[in-house]
Amino acid sequence: MRTMTCRQLGGPCDLEHHGETADDVLKAQDRHLKEADRAGDTSHQEAREAMKGRWRHPKRSLGWYRDTKAAFSRLPED
Ligand SMILES: [Zn+2]
């Protein structure tokens, strides 16, 4: 397992996501952004919009996705 924070994934807080793969933490972050949005937390709005944009334009977001996966693989295992 590795740990990435909301901030490392483009968000504003230090909440930690744990996962076996980069996809796991990305999904956890997506969920976290949705929940923050639903709770009326405006500090996460920008990150939420950015994430939505990435799902909508997967090709354009490949670079970001690759960078995130690379960053994840460089992290120490928990
Ligand atoms: Zn957050």
pLDDT in tens, 9-26: 999 999 999 999 999 999
Q: Using the mean position of ligand 1's atoms as its centre, give its distance from the Cα of residue 65 in Å.
A: 18
Q: What one-character-per-residue DSSP string does 16-57 give?
A: EEEESSHHHHHHHHHHHHHHHHHTT-GGGHHHHHHHHHHHH-
Residues 40-63: what's their mean pLDDT? 95
Q: What percent of the chain has pLDDT over 70?
A: 100
Angle, CA of 14, 24 and 21, to the nearest 5°: 105
CA of 32 to the centre of ligand 1 (A): 7
40 Rama class: left (phi>0) / alpha (psi -120 to 50) / beta: left
Mean pLDDT over all residues of the chain?
A: 96
pTM as predicted: 0.92
Find the 30 Cα to ligand 1 centroid distance in Å: 10
Determine the pLDDT at residue 55.
87
- 77 CA from centroid of ligand 1 (Å): 22
Average pLDDT over residues 30-51: 97
